[in-house]
């Protein structure tokens, strides 16, 4: 990483050269009400008028993230599923990182063995969420738009196109699947297992390629825009924003953000996501550009 050899002061000087801002969604752009604060919307419009483009980068699905990209009238790529999928403003795929070969097939094999226990799993692809279940078990943040989930009679034709796999069910069965996958694929995959907020015996397992993160998504997005890495800024609030903020030429962490993210970021906002922290950072960018 080039930033290992740079001082924070040197990186902050890049503010005057920023041509695009990669912005996280939840806890950053969005207030707790899942809306964009008026002050942030106004700042984005001002930035757009001065040639600064906004790239939304989220762990959510493309359809959910794209809804807010339309709201801010962004013509930039959309980074979704934590970088596993990047599409342009018209919805055409710029990059997608598939799961390792055979992973979905192994999941299906494990699921058949314990199907009576209620294990459900879905594949996330560039064309949407594919499931063989009438009512798929998905975490709330991945349920997205109703027309994005498609029920199909057989998932096998889509195995090679999946960029994320999400399984849900009782702890014992989800844990069995997790163990089976890590035994086979080890460091080739990235796993996240967590309990449903309902407090019941319902757990989720998300699996993606180990190489995927928001930084890889941002790299693909700016390459398509012909923007140099040193001309990018990034802002976020959580651990899944770490790589993106390290990758960007200059970065900011929300005051309501994750401690480790604040430690690597060049600027920390004084306003949180409800008060327009993104607007604050955009004003800093525009003031730096106007002074140069």
Task: Tell me the CATH number for domain 103-209.
Answer: 3.30.1240.10
Query: How far from chain centre, in Å, is Cα 46?
Result: 25
Residue 201 has pLDDT above 70, yes or no: yes
Residue-level pLDDT at 30? 98
Paired with 87 in beta bridges are: 78, 93
The torsion angle over the Cα atoms of residues 129, 132, 138 and 142, rounded to 10 degrees, is: 0
For residue 68, the number of C-alpha atoms closer than 13 Å in the C-beta half-sphere is 29
Q: pLDDT at residue 1 above 50? A: no
Output the pTM of the full model. 0.94
Distance (Å, rounded) from C-alpha 149 to C-alpha 123? 10
Q: What is the pLDDT of residues 94-109, one digit of tens each?
A: 999 999 999 999 998 9
Among residues 205, 208, 206, 175, which one has the least CA distance to residue 189? 208
Query: What average pLDDT does this structure show over 205-227?
Result: 98
pLDDT at 247: 96
**pLDDT per residue as tens digits for the range 113-149:** 876 567 889 999 999 999 988 888 899 888 766 678 8
Has residue 283 got a pLDDT over 90? Answer: yes
Same fold? 2-96+212-291, 103-209: no
- CA-CA-CA-CA dihedral for 40, 42, 48, 49, to nearest 10: -160
Q: Give pLDDT, residue 28.
A: 98
Query: Which CATH class for the 2-96+212-291 domain?
Result: alpha beta
Q: How confident is the model at residue 112 (pLDDT cuts 50, 70, 90)?
A: confident
Q: How do residues 176-191 score in pLDDT, each as one tens digit? A: 999 999 999 999 999 9
* Domain range summary for the chain, segments of one domain joined by +: 2-96+212-291, 103-209
């Amino acid at each position: 990483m080039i930033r290992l050899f740079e001082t924070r002061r040197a990186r902050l000087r890049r503010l005057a050269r920023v041509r695009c801002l990669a912005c996280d969604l939840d806890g950053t752009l969005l207030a707790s009400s899942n809306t964009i604060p008026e002050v942030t919307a106004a700042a984005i419009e001002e930035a757009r008028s001065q040639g600064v483009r906004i790239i939304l980068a989220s762990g959510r699905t493309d359809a959910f993230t794209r809804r807010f990209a339309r709201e801010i009238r962004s013509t930039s790529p959309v980074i979704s599923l934590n970088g596993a999928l990047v599409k342009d403003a018209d919805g055409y795929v710029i990059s997608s990182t598939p799961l390792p070969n055979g992973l979905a097939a192994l999941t299906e094999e494990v699921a058949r063995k314990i199907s009576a226990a209620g294990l459900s799993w879905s594949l996330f692809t560039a064309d949407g969420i594919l499931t063989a279940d009438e009512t798929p078990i998905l975490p709330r943040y991945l349920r997205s738009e109703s027309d994005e989930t498609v029920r199909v009679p057989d998932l096998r034709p889509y195995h090679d196109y999946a960029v994320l796999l999400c399984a849900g069910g009782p702890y014992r069965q989800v844990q069995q699947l997790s163990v089976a996958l890590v035994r086979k694929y080890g460091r080739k995959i990235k796993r996240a297992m967590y309990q449903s907020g309902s407090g019941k015996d319902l757990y989720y397992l998300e699996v993606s390629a180990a190489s995927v993160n928001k930084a890889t998504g941002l790299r693909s997005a700016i390459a398509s825009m012909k923007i140099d890495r040193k001309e990018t800024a990034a802002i976020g609030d959580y651990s899944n924003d770490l790589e993106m903020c390290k990758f960007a030429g200059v970065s900011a962490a929300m005051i309501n953000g994750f401690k480790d993210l604040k430690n690597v970021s060049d600027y920390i906002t004084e306003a949180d996501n409800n008060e327009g922290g993104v607007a604050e950072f955009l004003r800093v960018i525009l003031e730096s550009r106007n002074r140069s």
